[in-house]
């Protein structure tokens, strides 16, 4: 039995009150309650607490509107602001957004994400592999003094070892230069690279009828072939395929450009490279047994020394 938070009597005491022949004032003194409480349980057949919910709930919207809200939400997938504006401008000019939200909650359709198709789709984990499978992504930095920069990031799937570098553009030549940086940075041979379909990585982003001239073989693709690296691309409109890089970009932004105010571009880039060192040497990775990338790399070095071409010494990226 669940008691009301202010209940002064238990179910056994209420039953004793119900069956007792003593006067109300005597029972009230014995139980330490008022005579009103004694009278209440004398007349009550059920010894459970009643709900405090009001018998009549005043709603801003009549029940006849429920099918309309259900249709707008489930079939048209309209957001709450759009539904509120539609009702306010037509049937209920006095309606408030909070009233619309309460009605959506009553009908169980307040969370629009749960109503979207494919919400039950589950995403599998990354396949385990040896060091050398690199996820690469790129993001832009906020302008400072009208200077715009892009940051290429790479993270190894097995060791979670991260490196990044800033460039003035996101062209193919910058991607090729970043690939050279990755080959020098990682202590093991890179065997596979996964990127999205951006123009800096592949020709797939160019339209067939585009006036932009494109080389027959993309520079980044050619650089991968020359280094005997397999270059894989994500499926279009499936960013979670490269989710490791996408999530890492979010962590970098949250810990740097979203967290601090920078006075200059050099100050911002220094913070990014500082985060790289922190990420590799001091930040435990929960999904990898709460070990740092440095510890993971050393573990792999002891297990598979043949895949390493140099000692895993963590040199930091510089300006």
CATH number, residue 274: 3.30.420.10
Residues 4 and 76 in one domain: no
Give the contacts of 295 (CB within 8 A, at least 6 positions apart). Answer: none
Name the pLDDT band for 319 (thresholds 50, 70, 90). very low
- Residue 196 is part of which domain span? 133-307
Residues 94 and 186 in one domain: no
Tell me if residue 135 falls in helix, strand or coil.
strand
Residues 206 and 273 in one domain: yes
Residue 319 in any domain: the answer is: no
pLDDT at 91 over 90: no
Residues 10 and 107 in one domain: no
Residues 110 and 69 in one domain: yes
Residues 157 and 298 in one domain: yes
CB-based contacts of 254-261 (< 8 A; 24+ apart in sequence): 257/141, 257/142
Residues 22 and 86 in one domain: no
Residue 291 in any domain: the answer is: yes
Residues 5 and 88 in one domain: no
Residue 9 in any domain: the answer is: yes
Question: Element (H or E) spanning 102, and its range?
Answer: helix 97-106
Tell me what the pLDDT averaged over the chain comes to.
85
pLDDT in tens, 147-182: 999 999 999 999 999 999 999 999 999 999 999 999
Cα–Cα dist 72/33, whole Å? 53
Tell me if residue 151 falls in helix, strand or coil.
strand
Tell me if residue 268 falls in helix, strand or coil.
helix
Residues 141 and 243 in one domain: yes
Phi, psi values for residue 303, rounded to 5°: -85, -45
Phi, psi values for residue 217, rounded to 5°: -115, 125
Residue 315 in any domain: the answer is: no
How many domains would you assign to the chain? 3
pLDDT at 215 over 70: no
Residues 111 and 150 in one domain: no
Residue 128 in any domain: the answer is: no
Q: Which of 162, 186, 197, 170 is nearest to 308 (CA)?
A: 186
pLDDT at 270 over 50: yes
Residue 231 in any domain: the answer is: yes
Cα–Cα dist 191/156, whole Å? 11
Residues 181 and 104 in one domain: no
Residue 207 in any domain: the answer is: yes
Tell me if residue 305 falls in helix, strand or coil.
helix
What pLDDT is stored for residue 120 in this prediction?
53
Say whether pTM exceeds 0.75.
no
Residues 140 and 233 in one domain: yes
What would the mean pLDDT of 125-146 be, rounded to a whole number? 88
Residue 256 in any domain: the answer is: yes
């Amino acid at each position: 039995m669940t008691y009301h938070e202010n209940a002064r009597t238990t179910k056994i005491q209420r039953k004793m009150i119900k069956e007792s022949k003593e006067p109300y004032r005597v029972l009230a003194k014995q139980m330490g309650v008022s005579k009103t409480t004694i009278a209440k349980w004398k007349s009550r057949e059920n010894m459970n607490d009643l709900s405090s919910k009001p018998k009549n709930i005043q709603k801003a919207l009549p029940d006849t509107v429920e099918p309309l809200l259900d249709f707008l939400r489930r079939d048209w997938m309209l957001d709450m602001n759009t539904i509120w504006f539609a009702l306010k401008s037509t049937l209920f000019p006095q309606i408030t957004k909070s009233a619309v939200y309460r009605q959506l909650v009553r009908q169980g359709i307040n969370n629009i994400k749960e109503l979207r198709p494919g919400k039950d789709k589950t995403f599998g984990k990354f396949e385990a592999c040896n060091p050398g499978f690199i996820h690469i992504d790129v993001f832009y930095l906020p302008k400072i003094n009208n200077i715009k920069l892009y940051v290429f990031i790479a993270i190894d799937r097995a060791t979670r070892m991260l490196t990044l570098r800033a460039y003035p553009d996101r062209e193919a030549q910058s991607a090729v230069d970043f690939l050279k940086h990755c080959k020098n940075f990682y202590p093991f041979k890179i065997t596979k690279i996964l990127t999205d379909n951006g123009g800096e990585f592949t020709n797939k982003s160019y339209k067939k009828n585009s006036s932009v001239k494109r080389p027959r073989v993309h520079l980044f693709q050619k650089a991968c072939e020359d280094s005997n690296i397999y270059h894989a691309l994500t499926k279009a409109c499936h960013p979670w395929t490269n989710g490791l890089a996408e999530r890492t970009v979010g962590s970098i932004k949250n810990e740097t450009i979203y967290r601090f105010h920078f006075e200059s571009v050099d100050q911002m880039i220094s913070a990014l490279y500082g985060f790289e060192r922190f990420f590799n040497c001091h930040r435990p990775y929960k999904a990898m047994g709460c070990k740092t990338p440095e510890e993971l790399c050393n573990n792999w070095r002891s297990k598979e020394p043949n895949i390493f071409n140099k000692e895993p010494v963590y040199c930091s990226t510089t300006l």
